[in-house]
Structure 1
Amino acid sequence: MQLSISLAPKRFAENKYSKWASIKHDKAKNDAARSKQRVLLTRDITVAVKLSGPDPNMNPRLALALTTAKKSAVPKTAIEAAIARGQGLSTTGAALESLVLEAILPPSVATIIECQTDNKLRALADLRLLVKEAGGQVSTVGFMFEKKGRIIMRKKEGIGMDEVLEPALDAGVQDVHEDEEGRVLLFTEPAQTKTIAESLAKELDMEIEESEIIYDPNEDTKVEVNDEEAAAKLSNFLDDLQEVQGIQGVYMNWTKGESIPAELWEELRGKVAV
Protein backbone atom coordinates (compact mmCIF):
# COMPACT_ATOMS: atom_id res chain seq x y z
CA MET A 1 0.00 0.00 0.00
CA GLN A 2 1.39 3.35 -1.03
CA LEU A 3 0.83 6.36 1.19
CA SER A 4 0.06 9.57 -0.70
CA ILE A 5 0.30 12.95 0.98
CA SER A 6 -1.12 16.01 -0.72
CA LEU A 7 0.88 19.22 -0.35
CA ALA A 8 -1.68 21.34 -2.15
CA PRO A 9 -3.39 22.78 0.98
CA LYS A 10 -0.01 23.72 2.44
CA ARG A 11 1.12 25.32 -0.81
CA PHE A 12 -2.20 27.17 -1.02
CA ALA A 13 -1.75 28.48 2.53
CA GLU A 14 1.83 29.52 1.81
CA ASN A 15 0.81 31.30 -1.41
CA LYS A 16 -2.09 32.97 0.36
CA TYR A 17 0.18 34.16 3.18
CA SER A 18 2.82 35.35 0.69
CA LYS A 19 0.20 37.30 -1.28
CA TRP A 20 -1.21 38.83 1.92
CA ALA A 21 2.26 39.82 3.13
CA SER A 22 2.99 41.40 -0.26
CA ILE A 23 -0.28 43.38 -0.16
CA LYS A 24 0.49 44.59 3.38
CA HIS A 25 4.01 45.60 2.34
CA ASP A 26 2.77 47.50 -0.74
CA LYS A 27 0.05 49.22 1.28
CA ALA A 28 2.53 50.31 3.96
CA LYS A 29 4.86 51.63 1.26
CA ASN A 30 2.04 53.55 -0.47
CA ASP A 31 0.77 54.93 2.84
CA ALA A 32 4.27 56.17 3.69
CA ALA A 33 4.58 57.82 0.27
CA ARG A 34 1.21 59.55 0.68
CA SER A 35 2.16 60.71 4.17
CA LYS A 36 5.44 62.15 2.90
CA GLN A 37 3.65 63.91 0.04
CA ARG A 38 1.12 65.39 2.45
CA VAL A 39 3.92 66.71 4.67
CA LEU A 40 5.67 68.33 1.69
CA LEU A 41 2.47 69.89 0.34
CA THR A 42 1.39 71.32 3.70
CA ARG A 43 4.92 72.64 4.23
CA ASP A 44 4.66 74.47 0.89
CA ILE A 45 1.44 76.08 2.13
CA THR A 46 3.03 77.15 5.42
CA VAL A 47 6.09 78.62 3.68
CA ALA A 48 3.89 80.52 1.22
CA VAL A 49 1.85 82.03 4.06
CA LYS A 50 4.99 83.01 5.97
CA LEU A 51 6.42 84.76 2.92
CA SER A 52 3.37 86.58 1.54
CA GLY A 53 0.37 86.21 3.84
CA PRO A 54 -2.72 83.97 4.13
CA ASP A 55 -4.86 85.47 1.33
CA PRO A 56 -4.54 83.35 -1.85
CA ASN A 57 -6.00 86.23 -3.89
CA MET A 58 -2.96 88.32 -2.96
CA ASN A 59 -0.49 85.42 -2.79
CA PRO A 60 -0.12 83.49 -6.09
CA ARG A 61 2.29 81.02 -4.55
CA LEU A 62 -0.22 80.14 -1.84
CA ALA A 63 -3.00 79.83 -4.43
CA LEU A 64 -0.89 77.31 -6.39
CA ALA A 65 0.05 75.38 -3.23
CA LEU A 66 -3.61 75.16 -2.19
CA THR A 67 -4.68 73.95 -5.64
CA THR A 68 -1.96 71.29 -5.66
CA ALA A 69 -2.85 70.12 -2.15
CA LYS A 70 -6.55 69.83 -2.96
CA LYS A 71 -5.84 67.89 -6.18
CA SER A 72 -3.68 65.53 -4.11
CA ALA A 73 -6.56 64.95 -1.66
CA VAL A 74 -4.81 66.56 1.31
CA PRO A 75 -7.46 66.74 4.08
CA LYS A 76 -9.10 70.11 4.66
CA THR A 77 -8.06 70.04 8.32
CA ALA A 78 -4.39 69.58 7.32
CA ILE A 79 -4.62 72.52 4.89
CA GLU A 80 -6.23 74.76 7.51
CA ALA A 81 -3.56 73.77 10.06
CA ALA A 82 -0.80 74.59 7.55
CA ILE A 83 -2.27 78.05 6.87
CA ALA A 84 -2.55 78.70 10.59
CA ARG A 85 1.05 77.58 11.22
CA GLY A 86 2.23 80.02 8.60
CA GLN A 87 0.73 82.77 10.77
CA GLY A 88 2.18 81.35 13.98
CA LEU A 89 -1.23 80.11 15.15
CA SER A 90 -2.90 76.83 16.01
CA THR A 91 -6.19 75.86 14.33
CA THR A 92 -8.01 77.29 17.36
CA GLY A 93 -6.29 80.65 16.90
CA ALA A 94 -3.95 80.25 19.87
CA ALA A 95 -0.39 81.50 19.45
CA LEU A 96 2.15 78.75 18.81
CA GLU A 97 5.31 78.46 20.88
CA SER A 98 8.67 77.38 19.50
CA LEU A 99 10.37 74.29 20.88
CA VAL A 100 13.88 73.00 20.12
CA LEU A 101 14.96 69.50 21.15
CA GLU A 102 18.59 68.37 20.89
CA ALA A 103 19.53 64.68 20.82
CA ILE A 104 22.06 62.04 19.81
CA LEU A 105 20.82 59.20 17.59
CA PRO A 106 22.66 56.01 16.59
CA PRO A 107 25.33 56.01 15.22
CA SER A 108 26.25 59.15 17.27
CA VAL A 109 24.43 61.57 14.95
CA ALA A 110 23.77 64.95 16.55
CA THR A 111 20.20 66.03 15.84
CA ILE A 112 18.25 69.25 16.35
CA ILE A 113 14.45 69.20 16.03
CA GLU A 114 12.41 72.40 15.72
CA CYS A 115 8.71 72.36 16.50
CA GLN A 116 5.89 74.89 16.85
CA THR A 117 3.12 73.87 19.23
CA ASP A 118 0.30 75.12 21.42
CA ASN A 119 1.25 72.56 24.09
CA LYS A 120 5.00 72.45 24.78
CA LEU A 121 4.81 69.79 27.49
CA ARG A 122 2.89 67.36 25.28
CA ALA A 123 5.12 68.02 22.26
CA LEU A 124 8.28 67.62 24.34
CA ALA A 125 7.03 64.31 25.75
CA ASP A 126 6.15 63.05 22.24
CA LEU A 127 9.57 63.98 20.85
CA ARG A 128 11.46 62.48 23.79
CA LEU A 129 9.56 59.22 23.33
CA LEU A 130 10.42 59.05 19.62
CA VAL A 131 14.10 59.68 20.37
CA LYS A 132 14.09 56.94 23.01
CA GLU A 133 12.33 54.45 20.72
CA ALA A 134 14.97 55.15 18.05
CA GLY A 135 17.71 54.19 20.50
CA GLY A 136 18.83 57.77 21.03
CA GLN A 137 19.01 60.09 23.99
CA VAL A 138 18.31 63.76 24.62
CA SER A 139 21.65 65.59 24.81
CA THR A 140 23.11 69.07 24.24
CA VAL A 141 24.45 69.21 20.68
CA GLY A 142 23.87 72.83 19.67
CA PHE A 143 27.61 73.58 19.82
CA MET A 144 28.07 71.23 16.84
CA PHE A 145 26.00 73.53 14.61
CA GLU A 146 26.03 77.16 13.52
CA LYS A 147 22.75 79.05 13.41
CA LYS A 148 22.34 80.82 10.07
CA GLY A 149 19.78 82.49 7.89
CA ARG A 150 19.20 80.63 4.62
CA ILE A 151 17.51 82.13 1.58
CA ILE A 152 16.69 80.02 -1.48
CA MET A 153 15.84 81.93 -4.64
CA ARG A 154 14.95 80.85 -8.16
CA LYS A 155 16.95 82.61 -10.89
CA LYS A 156 15.16 83.86 -13.96
CA GLU A 157 16.39 82.67 -17.33
CA GLY A 158 19.38 84.67 -18.52
CA ILE A 159 20.59 85.67 -15.05
CA GLY A 160 24.02 84.25 -14.18
CA MET A 161 25.68 83.85 -10.80
CA ASP A 162 28.02 86.75 -11.57
CA GLU A 163 25.00 89.06 -11.62
CA VAL A 164 23.93 87.75 -8.22
CA LEU A 165 27.25 87.85 -6.36
CA GLU A 166 27.88 91.60 -6.14
CA PRO A 167 24.38 92.62 -4.98
CA ALA A 168 24.45 89.71 -2.50
CA LEU A 169 27.76 90.80 -0.99
CA ASP A 170 26.60 94.42 -0.83
CA ALA A 171 23.46 93.29 1.01
CA GLY A 172 25.52 91.52 3.68
CA VAL A 173 25.26 87.91 2.52
CA GLN A 174 28.00 85.75 4.10
CA ASP A 175 28.04 82.94 1.54
CA VAL A 176 26.32 82.22 -1.76
CA HIS A 177 26.32 79.31 -4.18
CA GLU A 178 24.18 77.58 -6.79
CA ASP A 179 22.64 74.16 -6.13
CA GLU A 180 22.13 71.29 -8.59
CA GLU A 181 18.66 72.60 -9.47
CA GLY A 182 20.06 75.98 -10.50
CA ARG A 183 18.67 77.77 -7.45
CA VAL A 184 20.65 80.38 -5.54
CA LEU A 185 21.40 79.61 -1.89
CA LEU A 186 22.38 82.56 0.28
CA PHE A 187 23.50 82.42 3.91
CA THR A 188 23.17 85.39 6.24
CA GLU A 189 23.19 86.46 9.86
CA PRO A 190 19.91 85.11 11.31
CA ALA A 191 18.56 88.54 12.25
CA GLN A 192 19.09 89.88 8.70
CA THR A 193 17.48 87.02 6.81
CA LYS A 194 14.06 88.48 6.05
CA THR A 195 15.37 91.96 5.21
CA ILE A 196 18.05 90.64 2.84
CA ALA A 197 15.63 88.21 1.17
CA GLU A 198 13.09 90.93 0.40
CA SER A 199 15.79 93.38 -0.74
CA LEU A 200 17.48 90.96 -3.15
CA ALA A 201 14.19 89.60 -4.49
CA LYS A 202 13.22 93.13 -5.47
CA GLU A 203 16.65 94.15 -6.82
CA LEU A 204 17.26 90.97 -8.83
CA ASP A 205 13.61 90.28 -9.70
CA MET A 206 13.85 86.72 -8.36
CA GLU A 207 11.31 84.59 -6.54
CA ILE A 208 11.97 83.64 -2.91
CA GLU A 209 11.42 79.90 -2.47
CA GLU A 210 12.46 79.77 1.18
CA SER A 211 13.62 82.23 3.82
CA GLU A 212 14.33 80.65 7.20
CA ILE A 213 16.71 80.17 10.10
CA ILE A 214 18.62 76.87 10.03
CA TYR A 215 21.24 74.96 12.01
CA ASP A 216 24.23 74.21 9.77
CA PRO A 217 26.46 71.37 11.08
CA ASN A 218 30.13 72.20 11.61
CA GLU A 219 32.35 70.26 9.22
CA ASP A 220 34.70 68.99 11.94
CA THR A 221 31.83 67.40 13.88
CA LYS A 222 30.18 65.47 11.04
CA VAL A 223 29.59 61.75 11.54
CA GLU A 224 29.79 59.22 8.70
CA VAL A 225 26.82 56.89 8.34
CA ASN A 226 28.30 53.66 6.93
CA ASP A 227 25.79 51.06 8.04
CA GLU A 228 22.63 50.48 5.97
CA GLU A 229 20.76 49.18 9.01
CA ALA A 230 21.61 52.36 10.94
CA ALA A 231 20.54 54.43 7.92
CA ALA A 232 17.22 52.55 7.78
CA LYS A 233 16.61 53.23 11.48
CA LEU A 234 17.32 56.93 10.98
CA SER A 235 14.91 56.90 8.04
CA ASN A 236 12.19 55.31 10.18
CA PHE A 237 12.79 57.89 12.91
CA LEU A 238 12.41 60.72 10.40
CA ASP A 239 9.22 59.15 9.05
CA ASP A 240 7.82 59.03 12.59
CA LEU A 241 8.75 62.69 13.08
CA GLN A 242 6.74 63.63 10.00
CA GLU A 243 3.64 62.45 11.83
CA VAL A 244 4.24 64.91 14.68
CA GLN A 245 2.20 68.05 14.08
CA GLY A 246 4.16 71.27 14.01
CA ILE A 247 7.63 69.96 13.08
CA GLN A 248 9.43 72.88 11.43
CA GLY A 249 12.87 71.44 10.75
CA VAL A 250 15.23 68.56 11.47
CA TYR A 251 19.01 69.06 11.32
CA MET A 252 21.69 66.35 11.53
CA ASN A 253 25.49 66.43 11.46
CA TRP A 254 25.73 63.33 9.31
CA THR A 255 27.62 62.65 6.11
CA LYS A 256 27.40 59.77 3.63
CA GLY A 257 29.66 56.78 4.18
CA GLU A 258 31.05 54.80 1.23
CA SER A 259 28.86 51.76 1.88
CA ILE A 260 25.56 53.69 1.73
CA PRO A 261 23.86 53.55 -1.72
CA ALA A 262 23.39 56.97 -3.31
CA GLU A 263 19.64 56.39 -3.72
CA LEU A 264 19.18 55.64 -0.02
CA TRP A 265 21.23 58.69 0.95
CA GLU A 266 19.22 61.02 -1.26
CA GLU A 267 16.03 59.64 0.28
CA LEU A 268 17.41 60.34 3.76
CA ARG A 269 18.56 63.85 2.88
CA GLY A 270 15.12 64.63 1.53
CA LYS A 271 13.66 64.11 5.01
CA VAL A 272 15.78 66.73 6.79
CA ALA A 273 16.31 70.47 6.47
CA VAL A 274 20.08 70.28 5.93
Structure 2
Amino acid sequence: MAGHSKWSNIKHRKGAQDKKRAKQFTRVIKEINVAIKENNQNGDPETNPALRNAIQNAKGVNMPKDTIQRAIKKATGADADSYEKMSFEGYGPHGIAIFVECTTDNTNRTVASVRSIFTKHDGSLGTNGSLEFLFDRKGVFTLKKEHLDLDFETLQLELIEAGATRFENEEDFFTIYTDFTDFGNMSDKLDAQNIEPHNSELQRIPQNTIELPLNEAKDIVNLIDAFEDDDDVQDVFHNLKMTDELEAALEEDS
Protein backbone atom coordinates (compact mmCIF):
# COMPACT_ATOMS: atom_id res chain seq x y z
CA MET A 1 0.00 0.00 0.00
CA ALA A 2 2.35 2.68 -1.22
CA GLY A 3 1.80 6.27 -0.27
CA HIS A 4 3.14 9.31 1.53
CA SER A 5 4.07 8.52 5.14
CA LYS A 6 6.33 6.04 6.89
CA TRP A 7 3.23 4.01 7.82
CA SER A 8 1.79 4.01 4.34
CA ASN A 9 3.33 0.91 2.83
CA ILE A 10 1.43 -2.22 3.83
CA LYS A 11 4.54 -4.26 3.06
CA HIS A 12 6.16 -2.77 6.17
CA ARG A 13 3.53 -4.12 8.55
CA LYS A 14 4.80 -6.69 11.05
CA GLY A 15 4.72 -10.14 9.53
CA ALA A 16 3.62 -8.86 6.13
CA GLN A 17 6.96 -9.53 4.45
CA ASP A 18 7.01 -13.23 5.29
CA LYS A 19 3.29 -13.62 4.65
CA LYS A 20 3.55 -12.04 1.19
CA ARG A 21 7.00 -13.29 0.20
CA ALA A 22 5.71 -15.31 -2.77
CA LYS A 23 3.86 -12.22 -4.02
CA GLN A 24 7.01 -10.12 -3.62
CA PHE A 25 9.05 -12.63 -5.60
CA THR A 26 6.45 -12.64 -8.39
CA ARG A 27 6.50 -8.84 -8.44
CA VAL A 28 10.27 -8.52 -8.84
CA ILE A 29 10.45 -11.33 -11.41
CA LYS A 30 7.96 -9.37 -13.51
CA GLU A 31 10.02 -6.23 -12.92
CA ILE A 32 13.11 -8.05 -14.20
CA ASN A 33 11.18 -9.30 -17.24
CA VAL A 34 9.87 -5.84 -18.16
CA ALA A 35 13.28 -4.21 -17.58
CA ILE A 36 14.85 -6.62 -20.06
CA LYS A 37 12.02 -6.46 -22.60
CA GLU A 38 11.90 -2.65 -22.64
CA ASN A 39 15.67 -2.48 -23.20
CA ASN A 40 15.97 -4.64 -26.33
CA GLN A 41 16.34 -7.93 -24.43
CA ASN A 42 19.44 -6.60 -22.67
CA GLY A 43 20.17 -8.92 -19.75
CA ASP A 44 23.34 -7.13 -18.62
CA PRO A 45 22.76 -5.02 -15.47
CA GLU A 46 25.94 -3.06 -16.18
CA THR A 47 24.39 -1.55 -19.30
CA ASN A 48 20.70 -1.82 -18.34
CA PRO A 49 19.95 0.51 -15.39
CA ALA A 50 16.33 -0.66 -15.14
CA LEU A 51 17.52 -4.26 -14.75
CA ARG A 52 20.11 -3.20 -12.18
CA ASN A 53 17.35 -1.51 -10.21
CA ALA A 54 15.12 -4.60 -10.47
CA ILE A 55 17.95 -6.80 -9.19
CA GLN A 56 18.44 -4.47 -6.21
CA ASN A 57 14.73 -4.76 -5.42
CA ALA A 58 14.96 -8.55 -5.70
CA LYS A 59 17.79 -8.54 -3.17
CA GLY A 60 15.69 -6.25 -0.97
CA VAL A 61 13.06 -8.99 -0.59
CA ASN A 62 15.79 -11.60 -0.01
CA MET A 63 15.35 -13.37 -3.32
CA PRO A 64 18.13 -15.98 -3.69
CA LYS A 65 20.85 -15.15 -6.19
CA ASP A 66 20.20 -18.27 -8.28
CA THR A 67 16.50 -17.36 -8.54
CA ILE A 68 17.45 -13.90 -9.82
CA GLN A 69 19.81 -15.40 -12.39
CA ARG A 70 17.15 -17.87 -13.58
CA ALA A 71 14.67 -15.00 -13.99
CA ILE A 72 17.19 -13.04 -16.08
CA LYS A 73 18.03 -16.09 -18.20
CA LYS A 74 14.36 -16.84 -18.86
CA ALA A 75 13.55 -13.20 -19.66
CA THR A 76 16.32 -13.04 -22.27
CA GLY A 77 15.35 -16.37 -23.89
CA ALA A 78 13.03 -17.18 -26.75
CA ASP A 79 10.36 -18.52 -24.37
CA ALA A 80 10.26 -15.36 -22.22
CA ASP A 81 6.89 -14.35 -20.84
CA SER A 82 5.39 -11.29 -22.51
CA TYR A 83 4.25 -8.75 -19.93
CA GLU A 84 2.91 -5.26 -20.33
CA LYS A 85 2.17 -2.49 -17.86
CA MET A 86 -1.35 -1.23 -17.18
CA SER A 87 -2.72 1.29 -14.70
CA PHE A 88 -6.20 1.86 -13.30
CA GLU A 89 -7.74 4.76 -11.41
CA GLY A 90 -10.86 4.78 -9.30
CA TYR A 91 -12.43 5.53 -5.95
CA GLY A 92 -12.77 3.25 -2.98
CA PRO A 93 -15.52 3.74 -0.43
CA HIS A 94 -15.60 7.00 1.56
CA GLY A 95 -14.11 9.03 -1.30
CA ILE A 96 -10.56 7.66 -1.21
CA ALA A 97 -8.66 7.82 -4.52
CA ILE A 98 -7.00 4.57 -5.58
CA PHE A 99 -4.32 4.20 -8.27
CA VAL A 100 -3.48 0.60 -9.25
CA GLU A 101 -0.43 -0.33 -11.34
CA CYS A 102 -0.31 -3.79 -12.92
CA THR A 103 2.01 -5.95 -14.98
CA THR A 104 0.15 -8.59 -16.94
CA ASP A 105 0.31 -11.20 -19.69
CA ASN A 106 -3.48 -11.11 -20.13
CA THR A 107 -5.08 -7.67 -20.29
CA ASN A 108 -8.66 -8.96 -20.39
CA ARG A 109 -8.13 -10.93 -17.18
CA THR A 110 -6.55 -7.95 -15.44
CA VAL A 111 -9.27 -5.49 -16.43
CA ALA A 112 -11.98 -7.89 -15.23
CA SER A 113 -10.17 -8.59 -11.96
CA VAL A 114 -9.52 -4.94 -11.10
CA ARG A 115 -13.10 -3.98 -11.91
CA SER A 116 -14.41 -6.84 -9.76
CA ILE A 117 -12.27 -5.85 -6.76
CA PHE A 118 -13.48 -2.25 -6.94
CA THR A 119 -17.11 -3.41 -7.15
CA LYS A 120 -16.89 -5.97 -4.32
CA HIS A 121 -15.49 -3.33 -1.98
CA ASP A 122 -18.03 -0.60 -2.81
CA GLY A 123 -15.64 1.28 -5.05
CA SER A 124 -15.81 2.37 -8.65
CA LEU A 125 -13.35 2.14 -11.53
CA GLY A 126 -12.77 5.45 -13.30
CA THR A 127 -11.20 6.44 -16.59
CA ASN A 128 -7.44 6.70 -17.07
CA GLY A 129 -6.21 10.17 -16.21
CA SER A 130 -9.20 11.02 -14.04
CA LEU A 131 -7.22 10.93 -10.77
CA GLU A 132 -3.66 11.48 -11.92
CA PHE A 133 -3.76 15.14 -10.88
CA LEU A 134 -4.16 14.07 -7.23
CA PHE A 135 -0.72 12.43 -7.16
CA ASP A 136 2.87 13.47 -7.80
CA ARG A 137 5.20 10.88 -9.29
CA LYS A 138 8.34 10.60 -7.19
CA GLY A 139 11.42 8.43 -6.97
CA VAL A 140 11.61 6.72 -3.57
CA PHE A 141 14.81 5.05 -2.34
CA THR A 142 14.94 3.05 0.89
CA LEU A 143 18.38 2.47 2.44
CA LYS A 144 19.11 0.10 5.33
CA LYS A 145 21.09 1.94 7.99
CA GLU A 146 23.15 -1.13 8.84
CA HIS A 147 24.59 -1.11 5.30
CA LEU A 148 25.75 2.52 5.41
CA ASP A 149 29.07 3.99 6.48
CA LEU A 150 27.82 7.59 6.38
CA ASP A 151 25.76 9.29 9.07
CA PHE A 152 22.41 10.82 8.13
CA GLU A 153 23.57 14.44 7.86
CA THR A 154 26.55 13.56 5.68
CA LEU A 155 24.35 11.37 3.51
CA GLN A 156 21.87 14.22 3.01
CA LEU A 157 24.61 16.58 1.81
CA GLU A 158 25.91 13.94 -0.60
CA LEU A 159 22.50 13.24 -2.12
CA ILE A 160 20.94 16.70 -2.38
CA GLU A 161 23.11 17.44 -5.40
CA ALA A 162 21.68 14.34 -7.10
CA GLY A 163 18.13 15.63 -6.73
CA ALA A 164 17.01 14.53 -3.27
CA THR A 165 14.04 16.69 -2.24
CA ARG A 166 13.01 15.08 1.05
CA PHE A 167 14.37 12.61 3.59
CA GLU A 168 12.80 10.41 6.26
CA ASN A 169 14.86 9.04 9.13
CA GLU A 170 13.19 5.92 10.53
CA GLU A 171 14.37 3.34 13.02
CA ASP A 172 16.13 1.01 10.59
CA PHE A 173 15.88 2.88 7.28
CA PHE A 174 16.63 6.16 5.54
CA THR A 175 14.11 7.04 2.83
CA ILE A 176 15.01 9.50 0.07
CA TYR A 177 12.55 11.19 -2.28
CA THR A 178 13.36 12.71 -5.67
CA ASP A 179 11.39 14.20 -8.51
CA PHE A 180 10.40 11.75 -11.24
CA THR A 181 13.02 13.21 -13.60
CA ASP A 182 15.85 12.70 -11.08
CA PHE A 183 15.23 8.99 -10.48
CA GLY A 184 18.10 7.98 -12.78
CA ASN A 185 20.43 10.62 -11.34
CA MET A 186 19.85 9.35 -7.82
CA SER A 187 20.36 5.74 -8.90
CA ASP A 188 23.69 6.70 -10.47
CA LYS A 189 24.75 8.73 -7.41
CA LEU A 190 24.04 5.88 -5.01
CA ASP A 191 25.91 3.50 -7.31
CA ALA A 192 28.90 5.87 -7.37
CA GLN A 193 28.82 5.94 -3.55
CA ASN A 194 28.73 2.11 -3.47
CA ILE A 195 25.34 2.28 -1.74
CA GLU A 196 22.90 -0.48 -2.71
CA PRO A 197 19.29 0.50 -1.93
CA HIS A 198 17.07 -1.93 -0.08
CA ASN A 199 14.36 -0.80 -2.49
CA SER A 200 14.02 1.86 -5.19
CA GLU A 201 10.91 2.61 -7.18
CA LEU A 202 8.68 5.24 -8.69
CA GLN A 203 5.70 5.96 -6.47
CA ARG A 204 2.63 8.14 -6.80
CA ILE A 205 2.58 10.38 -3.73
CA PRO A 206 -0.77 12.01 -2.88
CA GLN A 207 -0.74 15.80 -2.82
CA ASN A 208 -3.24 15.72 0.04
CA THR A 209 -4.54 12.94 2.25
CA ILE A 210 -7.99 12.24 3.73
CA GLU A 211 -8.42 11.14 7.34
CA LEU A 212 -11.21 8.65 8.03
CA PRO A 213 -12.66 7.11 11.20
CA LEU A 214 -10.95 3.83 12.02
CA ASN A 215 -13.77 1.57 10.82
CA GLU A 216 -13.96 3.38 7.46
CA ALA A 217 -10.17 3.42 7.10
CA LYS A 218 -10.16 -0.36 7.57
CA ASP A 219 -12.56 -0.63 4.61
CA ILE A 220 -9.85 0.99 2.48
CA VAL A 221 -7.13 -1.28 3.89
CA ASN A 222 -9.28 -4.31 3.00
CA LEU A 223 -9.69 -2.98 -0.54
CA ILE A 224 -5.94 -2.45 -0.89
CA ASP A 225 -5.24 -5.91 0.55
CA ALA A 226 -7.53 -7.40 -2.09
CA PHE A 227 -5.64 -5.61 -4.85
CA GLU A 228 -2.25 -6.64 -3.47
CA ASP A 229 -3.37 -10.26 -3.30
CA ASP A 230 -3.99 -10.18 -7.07
CA ASP A 231 -1.04 -11.60 -9.00
CA ASP A 232 -1.26 -8.93 -11.72
CA VAL A 233 -1.02 -5.99 -9.31
CA GLN A 234 2.41 -4.47 -8.76
CA ASP A 235 1.59 -1.38 -6.68
CA VAL A 236 -1.40 0.34 -5.11
CA PHE A 237 -1.37 4.05 -4.27
CA HIS A 238 -4.01 5.97 -2.33
CA ASN A 239 -4.70 9.24 -0.53
CA LEU A 240 -5.84 7.78 2.79
CA LYS A 241 -4.14 9.42 5.78
CA MET A 242 -2.35 6.79 7.81
CA THR A 243 -3.02 7.94 11.37
CA ASP A 244 -1.30 6.60 14.48
CA GLU A 245 -4.58 4.93 15.43
CA LEU A 246 -4.80 3.13 12.10
CA GLU A 247 -1.12 2.18 12.17
CA ALA A 248 -1.58 0.67 15.64
CA ALA A 249 -4.65 -1.28 14.47
CA LEU A 250 -2.73 -2.65 11.48
CA GLU A 251 0.13 -3.74 13.72
CA GLU A 252 -2.35 -5.46 16.00
CA ASP A 253 -4.02 -7.29 13.10
CA SER A 254 -0.77 -8.45 11.44
TM-score by length of 2: 0.69
What does the per-residue CA deviation read over 1:140-174, in whole Å, with 9 as the maximum and x for residues that have no partner?
22211111111112233552111111211111222
SS class of match (1:223): coil
Compared with structure 1, are the counterparts of its residues 118 and 112 closer, same or farther at alpha carbon in structure 2 (3 Å cutoff)?
same
| Equivalent position amino acid for 1:206 in 2 | I
- Relative contact order higher in (CA < 8 Å, ≥ 6 apart): 2
Q: Are residue 263 (structure 1) and residue 253 (structure 2) matched?
A: no
Q: Deviations over 1:22-44 (max 9, x none)?
A: xxxxxxxxxx9975343245446
Structure-2 change in CA distance of 1:177 and 1:242 (3 Å): closer
The alignment partner of 1:254 has SS state of coil
Conserved 8 A contact 2:102-2:235 = yes
The structure number with the bigger radius of gyration is: 1
Q: Pick closer, same or farther for the CA change 1:63–1:105 going to 2, 3 Å.
A: closer
Aligned length: 217
Alpha-carbon distance between aligned partners in 1 of 2:132 and 2:165, rounded to the nearest angstrom: 21
Confirm or deny: 8 A CA contact 1:201 1:208 kept in the other structure.
Answer: no
* Structure 2 counterpart of 1:242, from 222, 228, 245: 228
* 2:107 is the counterpart of 1:107: no
SS of 1:212's partner is: strand
Q: What letter matches 1:96 in structure 2?
A: Y
Q: Distance in 1 between matches of 2:155 and 2:243?
A: 34
Query: What SS does the aligned partner of 1:185 have?
Result: strand
Tell me the residue number matched to 2:240: 254
Within the candidate set 140, 147, 159, 1:150 is matched to 140
Q: Residue 205 of structure 2 corresponds to which residue in structure 1?
A: 216
Q: How many percent of aligned residue pairs carry the same amino acid? A: 20
Measured in 1, the distance between the counterparts of 2:61 and 2:89 equals 35
Q: How much does 1:197 deviate?
A: 1.7
Query: Aligned AA for 1:148?
Result: K
- Superposed CA RMSD in Å reads 3.9
Residue 13 of structure 1: aligned partner: none
Task: Give the alignment of 1:123-272 within 5 angstroms.
Answer: 123-139=110-126, 140-155=130-145, 156=147, 158-181=149-172, 183-203=173-193, 205-219=194-208, 222-228=209-215, 230-256=216-242, 260-266=245-251
Q: TM-score, normalized by length of structure 1?
A: 0.64
CA distance in 1, matches of 2:21, 2:108: 28
Where does structure 1 lack aligned partners over 5 or more consecutive residues? 1-31, 71-78
Deviations 1:219-248 (CA, angstroms, capped at 9, x unpaired):
3xx1112142x3343333233223322311
Tell whether the 8 Å contact from 2:30 to 2:103 is kept in structure 1 after alignment: no
- For 1:165 and 1:48, locate their aligned partners in 2 and report how far apart those are by CA, in whole Å: 29
SS of the residue corresponding to residue 113 of structure 1 reads strand
What is the deviation of 1:100? 0.8
Q: How does 1:35-114 map to 2 (within 5 A)?
A: 36-43=20-27, 52=52, 61=59, 64-66=62-64, 83=71, 93-114=80-101
Q: 1:211 to 1:63 in 2, by over 3 A?
A: closer
